Structure 1
């Protein structure tokens, strides 16, 4: 006979009281059609029965309102806490119960996912399975190959009539969607989801979506700042885009949407507290559970204070005792803490050991259960799994995962030897870390993301702060290289908080972590967030290591690069100069890191128009890299490209051409023909041929560069804008104005969105677009563009910069042309 709870669990326990909560829900159903948005929020302490209440409300819908569609999501699952994965999970749950088709959402989400992970193919192993058959598989193939959007429309036009008609009725602009970046598409996902859902339901149907464990959105948040950012995607994106859908949300604390976010929510948000059960309902519950002795019932009710979790745990104790004898009043605890102690008293050692071990992981399935029981000698038989999970405090999910109620986990933790518990955390850290070894960055799947999340949790519990930081830097590297920046940045933020609290706000690893966060935010284009992180990192690293340490130079270089990306050249210059000075003194004048800073500093001087200062720096960087790294190294190719570009700016085309050609030869050989660096060289070589008047040689090079950059970097990357700008300029030179105009307009749109409206590169495109309108004789369109471009460069580059002089001359010439035209009339 297996050890553990077996037959003493009776029928399913009755749901009692919550009459006010249920009545509110019934009234909400009746009124839901009158509201554009409808949110019903129930809040109460842990263990008060909010999850049970949701199940009762869902039961009411099933039994009394079968025509109402509903689905439920529990935010206790960490991966559901952002809009993309939330909607995928919601879609899957709806498709399990109903036959809804999500044609719009599926295409939009696939494009969104591909934007987040451009280098990872959409495969069944790493992308949420979509049950739309061969039709959608063909679209996935197009996205994997970065094919033109017309191919997607070809697939739609050849689809069955019902699918083809659906897309035409919805009028989705796939071209526009493909041209957008992931954050922009993310904001549209709820709208696409709602369009599909509404199309399936019909405009007069009702639907409810339940969200449980709302407080989980704030897991790991220690500071009040940014509090409302955690649920902003639900409050400002998800709910407003799903008009007509009603929401039932359960969480621990009352929502502050009305006083602190938007007063308009008072028309759509109704909140109710889930309080302790009144005594008469506690009596009713216990009687239904078979607790016939009134004295025992009174003791349980008083000790539980009306909290359903403690009532259920007391019933677990009652049934455990009744397995051997008739329970008596003295068997039961007099306080909530004593309820737990009494429950444990009537478990055998193997059961206690099993529960202690299982309270360590966030969740576990049968396989992990068996591993842990064997590894930690619980004595609890693996075959008794199905009996153990019948305890009231063990939650069973539809995916086979089980978890222990948070109040029970807390009690078991207090009851557990800290050393033993830490050893279990260490074992689980090793268990999950092994699953992350040797990951191919092109084959990262959601399971890897979940594994990293679990590994991080156990690392926090078993490693010291410094060890945690060093471990995560190593284990997260594949995710960084695969561009999962949004996934890993919250972990770095939490590590930063842990280091500041447990070590010191001025510790070197705090500086290192700040630097990593700065890099992540820079990569995500969030320059304003990156700036203070780099600045603080520099302050700490200087203080700890001294102002002449190579790590200081690295941070200076990163900060300078950020300022350069922001167009603030005057701030970048002294930082590059200081980084160069440190590296030369400490590492020696021939070190590759010196060459890197020389190259960066030369590039800044070139952007500032100071070519005579840039030239010797590029030449010296090239000399170092050829000597130290060898003539075929990619860094040599980079410097050749930069030096050639400078010669082109100076009009010395005959010097630039062989450098570009050698750069292209090295890059294609070492990096492959589809690498972004190859595209850079193709773009620049095309520009040189254009300057030399050899348009027929320039055109195919620009086109190939654009193709590579769109495929590898995505259609909204600044480098794509650069090639669009250059290709448009070539068409203008060739007199093909109708081809040039949409390219300039797209380049301007990308640069304004990604770089900001005051960036010098925006001014360049404005100037070029104005020149095109001038060539087309549309002076009224050209004039405000020149004016805006001139305003930007005068402010950012100064009145003597070559770009400023050029744009000012163009502006004055147009004014002169317009004046002459007026005189001739």
Structure 2
């Protein structure tokens, strides 16, 4: 075994350097990719390292990035394309001080796939603290998107027009994303206005999660293009092993997509063959060593016999790896005093067998054991050597470290971030030429050893693939496959479908497994790749049939998933047949009340809706609802099924039953901001409109509730929001309320203007109103951002003394008061009061509102001496303008009584509370929310006394 690493002294490196630097230095060339190609063993790695060093020195103001086996080993196995794009983002945008469209799209994908906690955008990737802060805001805010997507899943996007539409609608996602950014602070909002809204337009056309993944290279390309234009810098990206990347991803379209976008980047690709990267690609073959170059290496490394030296050179065919292996053979023979020409390989195919013949049993065993490892470090090496009894007189070492030191100096051992590995050519030869029992034993031990690594969450995905590869070569192959599929199911449940597709395809290279194809179909379906999902599921179906398992639950799962795919592909007849098969099996195998049967019934109902058989759909949904109602912990499924049943009853004009179901859903979810609540209020509006004239008032109330919640939670230009506005406009026309039609038309127009970042008083008014709604919901940060926008527009277009400006000042004061930022609130309240006094006069009701709010603030600040005269002044205005029996008067009396209570003047406070309560009961009624508030305040006072 050699005691030192071989060096290469070759003029071919100068040749490659001159060719590459000629391209780099030619400012007029249009080449954006250079492919350096040559067979394995030609020395691409050493040439790449040399070129990187020289380019870094030559282009001191440029960035040099490397995408190679060394730094992609773990992450490529977890998520191929994403891993590469993240590495590019990390290396090329790490000093970028701007937000990245790629970051947003990547976070959005993670949120929609329900795995946002695993999205690797952190301080490891983003160096600038200000960008990191923005990323964290976005990351937290995107929680709403899984909910949004889940809502459309459960509804099947049923519309009042009796249509069924696709679950995933990119225009809805984009509208919600846009609304999210509009509610942010000035910096983030400005980024969206100038860059994000333009550069992420393609999201509108996405019909599945996989469509977002396919757009990531485009978004990163745009980010990189903008970055290099701004910095006036250039970059060189090295792809060290094109074939390695190709092993873990089925195509390189991402490379073709991204290269033309960034003329500032030169891509240097090392491959075994030519690569069709772009039309402007220059191919440079890496030449073999000449005889003279080989002779220099041979002489330097101590081959003294000319005949043997010539035979080594001839056999190696100018390939550095084989030249080094031939030299290693000679040196081993020299130690054994057997360095004769007949023992030296005469052609390339003999080189590895001849080298192997020079090893003793123990040395050969070391290399055979190590050939089963993808890589090893010091710890694993020592454990392997101990486990497989490596020892001999010639190999005895004081410790395993010395043996490792000798091993890694071999010319066919390569270093990597995980430690070391054998050159693929040597590793493959050793793997083929070892006893089966040794190979199985080593892989069995490696599988068990690496199971501990899988428990570490940050390594979980890559470790799972590593375990599969070891396990498939072990003695317990089927046990390993079962374990692996169980783990894949867990990853699938966590929404990591892109990883599960990748992992399952690796398994399926080794064996046809029915369950693996079934799981593959499920994940492809989740990613929106329906045609590929059908192919995988049909293969699973054939494999189950071959095993005579057509009546198994596993087979029913395949049929159900096939039915869902056929629905997406609009093959309703095939969907019907598959769903019937799934139901027949489950009805036979399971309890009639099982959730699995309800799942099939729901899908059959959907198929019936698409085919226009609404009565049949209603019957099926009713059966599913009865099953869900008998189970616990299925609240969301129950609510979704109730909604569907309500929708079907509404279509059948069973309005009373539909109304009851929608109200039950609202009660079950108990969250007015849930997407289901928006749809329920909208459907209730439809029902009351259809009932007729006497229910019109209720219809308008429900429509309005739905619209307000949709504007806040979906966005101002979300398709559902626009549908609701259109529905209310049509309803108002029916009622002859043309003033309302005009108001709603202006509202829709203002919503569009806000989304387009236009500025005018109408936009400010809408921002103010939406800000108030957010304030009522306790969303103070979003409310503040919108109101500050409104304030700036009002001051710019109306003046600082305009009543609309005063209203915005007042609403901002309410936010700061609720946030206990009392001194800031005081400034805004006083500004609003000053404008209103100047505009309306000191005795106007609107002025009284400002006085009341300022007085309430002083009470919070315990400035009671300043609060009392203000409350008395407000009360006087209310008496004058509204009279004694008015809600505004009751509000002021309640505030005054609360102030006296805080001062400990309970006797003075109690009659005032009674007076306020009496007004509320007579004017608002006993059940009104404000009546309850005053009643509660009085009760607390009486309890203390």
Give your verdict on TM over 0.5. Answer: yes
- Counterpart for residue 411 of structure 2: 392
CA–CA separation in structure 2 for the residues paired with 1:288 and 1:201? 47
CA–CA separation in structure 2 for the residues paired with 1:289 and 1:306? 16
Residues 547 and 53 of structure 1, relative CA distance in 2, 3 Å threshold: closer
- Counterpart for residue 679 of structure 1: 675
Deviations 1:441-486 (A, max 9, x none): xxx64x3232223223223323777556533321112221222212
Task: Name whichever of 618-627 and 306-315 sits farther off.
Answer: 618-627
- Counterpart for residue 288 of structure 2: 276
The Cα of 1:522 is off from its aligned counterpart by: 1.4
CA–CA separation in structure 1 for the residues paired with 2:542 and 2:471? 28
Deviations 1:491-532 (A, max 9, x none): 3234344334xxxxxxxx43x433322222211112232233
CA–CA separation in structure 1 for the residues paired with 2:270 and 2:319? 16
- Counterpart for residue 29 of structure 2: 35
Secondary structure at the residue paired with 2:390? coil
Residues 214 and 121 of structure 1, relative CA distance in 2, 3 Å threshold: closer
Determine whether 1:297 maps to 2:309: yes
Determine whether 1:404 maps to 2:422: yes
Deviations 1:216-249 (A, max 9, x none): 233279xxxxxxx6122112x1211221422221
Secondary structure at the residue paired with 1:142? helix
For residue 522 of structure 2, the aligned residue among 519, 523, 526 is: 519
For residue 474 of structure 1, the aligned residue among 468, 486, 490 is: 486
Secondary structure at the residue paired with 1:655? helix
Number of positions where the alignment pairs a residue of Structure 1 with one of Structure 2:
685
Contact between 2:98 and 2:131, CA under 8 Å: does it hold in 1? no
Residues 150 and 354 of structure 1, relative CA distance in 2, 3 Å threshold: farther
Contact between 2:67 and 2:240, CA under 8 Å: does it hold in 1? yes
Determine whether 1:215 maps to 2:230: no
Secondary structure at the residue paired with 1:559? helix
Determine whether 1:593 maps to 2:596: yes
Deviations 1:267-304 (A, max 9, x none): 52222333432211110122233434433322321232
Secondary structure at the residue paired with 2:238? strand
Secondary structure at the residue paired with 1:188? helix
Secondary structure at the residue paired with 1:145? helix
Contact between 1:517 and 1:530, CA under 8 Å: does it hold in 2? yes
CA–CA separation in structure 1 for the residues paired with 2:433 and 2:595? 57
- Counterpart for residue 250 of structure 1: 270
The Cα of 1:409 is off from its aligned counterpart by: 0.5
The Cα of 1:681 is off from its aligned counterpart by: 5.5
- Counterpart for residue 777 of structure 1: none
Secondary structure at the residue paired with 2:260? coil
Residues 110 and 304 of structure 1, relative CA distance in 2, 3 Å threshold: same
Secondary structure at the residue paired with 1:72? strand
Looking at CA atoms only, which structure, 1 or 2, has the larger radius of gyration?
2
For residue 568 of structure 2, the aligned residue among 565, 569, 591 is: 565
For residue 234 of structure 1, the aligned residue among 233, 252, 255 is: 255
> Scaled by the length of structure 1, what TM-score is found?
0.71
Deviations 1:245-272 (A, max 9, x none): 2222121123356xxxxxxx5x522223
Contact between 1:111 and 1:143, CA under 8 Å: does it hold in 2? no
Task: Note the residue ranges of structure 1 that are not aligned, 5 or more in a row.
Answer: 222-228, 258-264, 501-508, 748-825
Task: Name whichever of 646-655 and 569-578 sits farther off.
Answer: 569-578
Contact between 2:703 and 2:724, CA under 8 Å: does it hold in 1? no
Secondary structure at the residue paired with 1:34? coil
Deviations 1:417-444 (A, max 9, x none): 222222222222233344335x8xxxx6
- Counterpart for residue 70 of structure 1: 64
Secondary structure at the residue paired with 2:322? helix
Residues 599 and 533 of structure 1, relative CA distance in 2, 3 Å threshold: same
For residue 651 of structure 2, the aligned residue among 632, 649, 652 is: 649
Equivalence map 1:753-764=2 (5 Å): none
Contact between 1:468 and 1:495, CA under 8 Å: does it hold in 2? no
The Cα of 1:602 is off from its aligned counterpart by: 2.5
The Cα of 1:646 is off from its aligned counterpart by: 1.7
CA–CA separation in structure 2 for the residues paired with 1:570 and 1:738? 46
Equivalence map 1:476-625=2 (5 Å): 476-500=488-512, 509-510=513-514, 512-542=515-545, 544-545=547-548, 550-585=553-588, 587=590, 589-625=592-628
Task: Note the residue ranges of structure 2 that are not aligned, 5 or more in a row.
Answer: 143-176, 392-396, 689-697, 733-740, 756-945
CA–CA separation in structure 2 for the residues paired with 1:746 and 1:425? 62
- Counterpart for residue 219 of structure 2: 189
CA–CA separation in structure 2 for the residues paired with 1:545 and 1:742? 64
The Cα of 1:186 is off from its aligned counterpart by: 0.5
- Alignment RMSD (CA, Å): 4.3
For residue 86 of structure 1, the aligned residue among 84, 92, 99 is: 84
Secondary structure at the residue paired with 1:616? helix
CA–CA separation in structure 1 for the residues paired with 2:752 and 2:700? 18
Deviations 1:333-379 (A, max 9, x none): 44445543554566566654443333222223334334434444435
